[in-house]
Amino acid sequence: MPRLPALDGTTVLDFSTVGPAARCSRILADYGATVVKIGAPPSRSGVQIEPVFHAYSAGRGMKQVRIDLKAPAGKAAFFELAKSADVVLESYRPGVVVRLGIAYEDVRAVNSRIVYCSTSGYGQDGPASQWAGHDLNYLAVGGFLACSTPRADGGPPIPGATVADSAAGGMHAVIAILAALLRRARTGEGEYLDVSVADGVLQLMALTIDEHLATGTAPGPRHDVLTGRYAFYDTYGTRDGKWISVGAIEPRFWANLCGALGLERWAAHQYDDAVQDEIRADLRAAFAQKTRDEWASELAPADTCVAPVRDVAELADDAQYAARGAFSQAIHPDHGTFRQVAPVLAGMERPEGPVAVPGTGATDTAQLLRNAGVPDSEIEKLLNEGVVA
């Protein structure tokens, strides 16, 4: 008998379409929450970004409502849904929900148990609160880029993943929401959450920032172990033009690697700053003797903290991920069957077969309003007037 999903019975109304809040609702849905995505009707759909069909796991397990929040009747329909919701998630620029009349205090007036989460780049207050931004900007202001190994021209690199959106924003919001739901279980009261992605980057960078605050040092690239100061924490090219990663921080792993590469003379000089360039040169020469996969096959199982640098196409067919059930299939009404990342976080339930995902433009508006107690005659009127879709 399948176990009950962790967030079964929790309803989330989500105004976001992309970015950190959409990452948040994806996680909540994969833990079993009923996520209702609230968007604009077709007549107003140009006001928001619509992600491509496969993004954010293609809306797997989510419902869709289209409401014109600027119409009084549309706003009233939203409040009917909010009366029985547990969470409202929004990612408008600070002040917009107040102007729309759907801010925390407005929702709280009809549902005192609501957990209302606002996600924004820089938070709801402060001199940067109205700045527009995206992932790269938040990593820039939070010190992440400045501590990353620079490009050949000396500039900070462009990260290969949206670290701020996914972790500093999306996971940040998830943690805050779950904590608020636990507090509500004790107090019976909801609360307002001000999730700043830039604040979340500070949390990701806390080890480095705390060092500066406590000691006055100025961390940057190659400042310490985790930013490339030492040869044992780096990437190296292989004979076939590919790359291998080395993260042999502990002395025993470093000694194992040195022995496997015939570089025993460097085992006792792991943290010797004076010879790091020499060690790197020897590691480059050693790794250039074999292909990436030959080295990975030899070293990864040998307690050396070595792993291949794979591209996305390669990892999609990786045996370890396959064994973990990391990928599943989705069926889209317009795009057919395709693979996607499964619910992979601990405690999420893996699907047993292909999962049907909603088609472009599909909505659950009428049924959800009906479930909220809105009479069919009123729903029909709203549909005919284009207030909902």
Catalytic residue numbers read: 134, 165
d(CA 52, CA 58): 8
d(CA 272, CA 234): 16
Any idea of the CA torsion for 121, 124, 126, 127, to the nearest 10 degrees?
60
Write the CB contacts of 313 (distance below 8 Å, at least 6 apart in sequence).
none
Residue with tokens 């009366």: 83
Among 163, 134, 119, 94, which Cα is nearest to 24's? 119
Residue 111 near residue 83 (C-beta atoms within 8 A): yes
Among 359, 366, 298, 365, which Cα is nearest to 38's? 365
Q: How many residues does the chain have?
A: 389
d(CA 176, CA 136): 23
Residue 246 near residue 257 (C-beta atoms within 8 A): yes
